[in-house]
Amino acid sequence: MKRIDAMIPALPFSAWFDGKELRQILRDWPTQTTTAACDGGTRETKTWTDPASGLRVAMHTLRFDAFAAVDWFVEFTNTGSSDLPILEGIQALDSSTVIANQSVLLHHANGSLCQIDDFLPFTTDLGQWYWRVFVPSGGRSSNGVLPFMNVQFPDGGVVVGIGWSGQWAARYHRHDTLLNIAIGQQTTRMRLRPGETIRTPRILLLEWEGREPMDGQNTLRQLLLAHYLPRVNGQVPTPPIAHCLQVHYYATDEAGEHLERKAIPKIQSIGADTYWLDACWYGRSGRIWWQEVGSWCIHPDRFPNGLKPLADTAHGLGMPFVLWFEPERVRKDSIISQEHPEFLLTRPPASGVDPDNLLYDLGNPAAWTFMLDLLDGHISQVGVDVFRQDFNFDPLPYWETADAPDRVGMAENLHVQGLYRLWDELRRRHPNLWIDNCASGGRRIDLEMLMRSLPLWPTDYHDTVGLGFGMDLHVGDQCENAGLSRWVPVFGGGVWNFHPYSMRGQAVGGFTFGMHLEFDKYRKPGTPTLYSFAELVVNRKELLDDDFPVELVRAAIAEHRSLQPFITGDFWPLLPLTVAPHDWCAYQFHRHDLRAGFALFFRRHASPFATMAGVSPRWIDPNARYAVSQQGETYTPAPEQTMTGKQLQELQVTIVEKPGSMLLRYRQL
């Protein structure tokens, strides 16, 4: 790891303690180092303890055997009997390296903001006097910016991954021939009380060689699959093909056991594999779901027999059960608010902010225990297989309000640590449980969250918002999938239309659906105002309807399932990714072990071009022979033809339909 070793000093973190630079004074403190072999690498913990104040600093490092990568985070503990002096400016990574006159490019991406360009990639030239700070918005880690970046040099580079599910900051500063990178919780200035521990974000540095940035990002994908993503029975879970009746609830305000019982056998018969119950099962009144959060009792009128009979029915048909929660948001008139106001954080009034939203404080030990027992009780009693945790508002103002002047950053730090412990304990108690990480879509995707969960709904743009934009919905879907796949190997999606063009662009790893809406019911180009959701869904076709397009959906599911094995391979964008409706979109997944893969091509609804030339699939041997099929706007399997790798690389793609798609499958003979 020559480049990583050159980028970081012996102590890659920094802070100020009692007005002194921590890296300087640590040299005089007693140290202790322990190492242990682990699956895939070596773990090391190095500890420094100040005999005068009692501050203990522990750096936990993991070095991998099969990857040129290092991972670490740092803990600070007050082992003394009185408050410590101020600890501030804590950076998990603070690195300066000489780069001479090299060209340096930074590859980064949008996070999720429920917009058409969610996860759109960008490349920034780190010129000789460049300065930029990346921060998410409002305290959710991928709210606006994705916490994964790739620093590219002429002959390779270093991928940077950040694990902090709160408000992080990453600063890139190039001063002539010196590049500094500093990453940490955005604001820290605090006194630790006796027994308290805080920690830094987790940092991953992954070195790669080559001239294409995707070489580094594919190495990241394989590292995440091998050593980070959660496992059930030893395997990374495959995102489900799931059905949910939430759209019916939105459209009719009707929800309950009688509807779910009708849907469950149809879910299995149509070829889906998972039963999903979203935000309509709890509360005490008939109010909409978000007004009931904090009242985590099964709704007595909608589900008079509880949820276990539904879970049992799904299990009897071989389907896992997904159940939605939002434990970190509490409404002021909810059960938790009335019975445990001491567990909640408030924020100052602000224009446009709902004052009835309160933040459940996972940094409060009593609150943490209460929530653990509450969630564990539901999971155990109902039989939940996938715990779906949502988070639909910004926590940062609540944390800032809770902090005293000498405790800045403390509420956030303790809350984020509490979240990790909560999920870890739930998974310990339920070894086969896995977690869906949703935060208004994909606004909390980071390294630590990917260690514990998978994002099954990465953006709310493909929720009711995107539907109002008509065909632009599918442009956003393509952007999400082709953008996020550069960094995250496994995630889900949402499907509203099962025709090949939309279906292929809406789903990568797995998907959830609740209805089918024909193209002719979409908002038309040039319409001065967006259709409301109510105007759109009046034309919906649901699984419970007699005219639901069962055969179309079965064919769509069958095609999607045939592609799923390739998703964990390498990913390659075949065209520059944009959100322009006149551009094409194309990308490829390839399994090196199978010497096979597929590519998807999308002619968007405003594209005047029926043919795209010069789109050369990656990882093709020009001298080998391949069996190739080209499948247009139909699910009927296309016949294979044999061609050389050179012919495959020079293939011209023609799509007559507008919008339209083509699925290219290939396998080396």
| Superfamily for the 570-668 domain | Golgi alpha-mannosidase II (2.60.40.1180)
Give the span between the Cα atoms of 575 and 346, in whole angstroms. 47
**Section 227-233 average pLDDT:** 96
620-633 confidence digits (pLDDT tens): 999 999 999 999 99
- Domain ranges across the chain: 2-227, 241-466+488-499+509-516, 570-668
Q: Whats the size of the chain, residue-wise?
A: 669
Per-position DSSP letters for 386-415, written without gaps between them: EEEE---S--HHHHHHH--TTEETHHHHHH
Average pLDDT, whole number, for the chain?
Answer: 95
Give the span between the Cα atoms of 419 and 165, in whole angstroms. 9
Contacts (Cβ under 8 Å, ≥6 apart) of 464: 250, 533
For 5-54, strand residue ranges (E) read: 14-17, 20-21, 31-38, 41-49
Residues of the chain with pLDDT > 70: what percent?
99
- Can you give the pLDDT at residue 48? 98
376-391 confidence digits (pLDDT tens): 999 999 999 999 999 9
- Can you give the pLDDT at residue 466? 79
Q: Which residue shows structure tokens 């300065």?
A: 131
- Per-residue pLDDT band for 565 (boundaries 50, 70, 90) equals very high
- Give the CATH fold of the 2-227 domain: Beta-galactosidase; Chain A, domain 5 (2.70.98)
Contacts (Cβ under 8 Å, ≥6 apart) of 48: 26, 29, 30, 31, 56, 57, 58
pLDDT of 528 over the 70 cut: no
CA 418 to chain centre: 19
Q: Enter the tokens of residue 444.
A: 């909390």
285-318 confidence digits (pLDDT tens): 888 999 999 999 999 999 999 999 999 999 999 9
**pTM (2 d.p.):** 0.97
- Can you give the pLDDT at residue 530? 59
123-164 confidence digits (pLDDT tens): 999 998 899 999 999 999 999 999 999 999 999 999 999 999
Domain 241-466+488-499+509-516 carries which CATH code?
A: 3.20.20.70
- Per-residue pLDDT band for 251 (boundaries 50, 70, 90) equals confident
86-107 confidence digits (pLDDT tens): 999 999 999 999 888 889 999 9
270-291 confidence digits (pLDDT tens): 999 999 999 999 999 888 999 9
pLDDT of 537 over the 80 cut: no
